[in-house]
Structure 1
Amino acid sequence: MSNPPKLLISIVVAATRILGKAFLEAGRQAVKNAKHAPQNAIGADVAGVSNATSGTITDQLTRQHRMTLDEAHLILNIKRGESMENVLKHYEHLFKANSPPPPLPKPQATGGKVPPPPAHSHYLQSKVVRARERIEAEVKAGESPAPANPGAPGADTPPPSTASRAADGS
């Protein structure tokens, strides 16, 4: 029969080899993944933002606002196609619900317990604001079509206002 310490040493050596190979392969995979990941990415994909690669206005707005239109609708708990009045109503409710409460007056020394202030979240409040901005941007993009030739002179300038037309005498 073999010596128990020799058997134990051979088991430890075999386990070390197996773990070493596993760590080596994990390191190789991490290097491979790092080569394919964009260097200036802000965290993980946000609701398919990195998939918005076409040149459409919707994809441009998704990349700009880092939020898809569907995500914005989910945050504000509204359906597609709802009026801006309803969007703003939901926005105001959620914004106020996540706002910090106004300062409470100092309790009197009556011995009664004061209830804790309601919870608020600046993170949720910022998501609500970004969702409203995303929906507003989509509505504005749908109202004003993009110029046919973006490089043309005057393509970036807005049409003159009625006040400037009146001053010109037009």
Structure 2
Amino acid sequence: MARYIAQLIIAGSQVIGRAFARALKQEIEASQQAAQRLGNAKTRTERVTNQKLGLTLDEAKQILNISKLTKEEIEEKYSSLFKANEKTSIYLQSKIVRAKERLDHELNNTSTKGKVKEDIQSDGTT
């Protein structure tokens, strides 16, 4: 009788151990996917922006199908996609709006950095 109880305990602990190992493996994979979704941002500001706006720059470019980061192209693609999905999907429209916000944010950051660089060069300082 004691032998059967010992076998039952061993079998139960093996099942629980396998389940725990499987759950741990799934959690590690989910963590790696989350890190990848954040776009593997190189700087802290990029990570914060990705988290704040919910999209990486690459995802936003893919949603609006943009190759170059210009205000005209962003507006053109945004308006055409937003109107195309006007009657079909509010979800897609929200994704389009978020993508435009992300690209506008990036466009504003690059123009601000360019102005700072020009100011520094005109002052003669490095």
Give runs of aligned pairs for residues 116-127 of structure 1, distance below 5 A.
120-127=88-95
Distance 1:140 1:82, change over 3 A: closer
TM-score by length of 1: 0.49
TM-score by length of 2: 0.63
Residue 59 of structure 2 aligns with which residue? 71
Distance 1:82 1:54 in 2: 20
State how many pairs are aligned. 105
Name which one, 1 or 2, has greater alpha-carbon Rg: 1
- 1:45-98 per-residue CA deviation (whole Å, 9 max, x = no partner) reads 28521743732x43332221121111101000110x242111111111111111
Residue 94 of structure 1 aligns with which residue? 81
Structure 2 spans left out of the alignment, 5+ residues: 1-6, 114-126
Verify: 1:84 aligned to 2:47, yes or no: no
For 1:142, which of 96, 103, 110 is the aligned residue?
110
Shift of 1:23: 4.2
| More helix per residue | 2
Structure 1 spans left out of the alignment, 5+ residues: 1-12, 39-43, 101-119, 146-170
CA RMSD after TM alignment = 3.5
Shift of 1:133: 0.3
